[in-house]
C-alpha cells in the first residue's frame, strides 16, 4: 500500500466520526504559533534536523486534516 492510500483511509475514518466537529477543528494557538516559528526557521535555513522532522510531521497532519475536512463536507452536503 502506498502512503497516499494510507492517508486517504485515515482521512475517511476521521471524516466519518463526526463531520461537523471535523470541519470545525482547528489546532490550538500554541500549535499554530509553533508551526509558524518552524516555517520562519525554515525560511532562514536555521532549523535543526529535529525541527525539520517536526515541521514535516505537522505538514503531514495538515494534509490528512485537509482531506478529512473535504470528505466531511461531502458527507454533510457542505462541499465548496
Given a cut of 90, is residue 31 above it in pLDDT? yes
* Interval 33-77: pLDDT, tens: 999 999 999 999 999 999 999 999 999 999 999 999 999 999 888
> pLDDT at residue 80 above 70?
no
Decide if 58 contacts 35 (C-beta within 8 A).
yes
Domain enclosing residue 24, as ranges: 3-76
Q: Inter-axis angle of helices 49-76 and 29-43, to 10 degrees?
A: 130
| pTM for the predicted model, two decimal places | 0.82
Number of domains in the chain: 1
Q: Which residue has the higher pLDDT, 35 or 17?
A: 35
Amino acid at each position: 500500500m502506498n502512503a497516499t492510500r494510507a492517508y486517504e483511509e485515515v482521512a475517511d475514518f476521521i471524516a466519518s466520526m463526526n463531520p461537523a466537529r471535523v470541519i470545525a477543528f482547528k489546532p490550538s494557538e500554541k500549535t499554530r504559533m509553533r508551526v509558524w516559528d518552524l516555517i520562519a526557521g525554515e525560511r532562514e535555513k536555521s532549523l535543526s534536523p529535529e525541527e525539520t522532522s517536526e515541521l514535516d510531521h505537522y505538514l503531514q497532519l495538515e494534509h490528512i486534516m485537509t482531506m478529512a475536512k473535504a470528505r466531511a463536507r461531502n458527507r454533510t452536503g457542505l462541499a465548496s
